[in-house]
């Protein structure tokens, strides 16, 4: 009977505590959600930079030694260290360096240095959003359930003219209508 009598107090406590507990996850999923919504406009996980360098054409690229490849990297302004190299086509040399690649057109001498760096913050939150393992599935499922509870308890936080029976009802209906309208317009 005590619970029914004081349900608003329990409702506020549940809403408050879940809000505190899941604050970080809410921010993580919100940031990664924004990033993933714009995936066609930018790479949310990596910053990719390209630099073009003109070198002298390379005669007989198929006979290059490791030392020759190191010298080419230095000529590009890069460290002479590399992982490996190969020729994907007759006049193209691809060199794998730490954090990127160098593509050299042996015929023209044009080298394109591509660097791939993790985008700060977004790489990390996207890693979590993409579900990195079985244990994270449980965390995200619990979080999804908590969001449902937060939404329901939030409906009953306020009483009176701003509560669910007046202003809150109008805003709740508007919030329901927004996805319904999008479904009517775009879901086929």
| DSSP string for 6-35 | THHHHHHHHHHHHHHHTHHHHHHHHHHHHH
Query: Which stretches of the chain drop beneath a pLDDT of 70?
Result: 1, 3
Length in residues, the chain: 188
In 61-108, beta strands by DSSP E: 84-89, 92-97, 100-105
The structure tokens listed for 96 are 């794998």
* DSSP-assigned letter for residue 38: T
What is the spatial distance between Cα 144 and Cα 150, in angstroms, rounded to a whole number? 10
Domain ranges of the chain: 2-43+120-157, 46-118, 158-188
Q: Report the pLDDT value the prediction gives residue 34, as an integer from 0 to 100.
A: 92
Q: Report the pLDDT value the prediction gives residue 131, as an integer from 0 to 100.
A: 78
46-118, CATH topology level: Double Stranded RNA Binding Domain (3.30.160)
Q: Report the pLDDT value the prediction gives residue 1, as an integer from 0 to 100.
A: 60
The pTM assigned to this predicted structure is 0.74
Q: Report the pLDDT value the prediction gives residue 60, as an integer from 0 to 100.
A: 87
């Amino acid at each position: 009977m005590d619970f029914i009598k004081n349900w608003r107090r329990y409702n506020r406590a549940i809403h408050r505590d879940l809000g505190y507990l899941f604050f970080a996850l809410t921010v993580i999923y919100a940031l990664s959600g924004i990033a993933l919504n714009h995936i066609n406009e930018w790479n949310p996980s990596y910053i990719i930079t390209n630099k073009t360098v003109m070198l002298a054409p390379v005669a007989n690229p198929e006979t290059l030694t490791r030392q020759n490849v190191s010298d080419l990297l230095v000529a590009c302004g890069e460290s002479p260290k590399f992982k490996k190299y190969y020729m994907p086509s007759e006049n193209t040399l691809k060199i794998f360096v730490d954090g990127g690649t160098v593509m050299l057109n042996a015929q023209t001498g044009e080298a394109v240095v591509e660097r791939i760096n993790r985008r700060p913050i977004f790489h990390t939150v996207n890693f979590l959003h993409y579900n990195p393992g079985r244990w994270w599935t449980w965390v995200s499922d619990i979080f999804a359930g908590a969001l449902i509870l937060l939404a329901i308890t939030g409906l009953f936080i306020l009483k009176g003219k701003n509560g669910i029976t007046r202003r809150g009802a109008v805003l709740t209906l508007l919030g329901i209508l927004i996805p319904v309208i999008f479904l009517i317009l775009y879901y086929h």
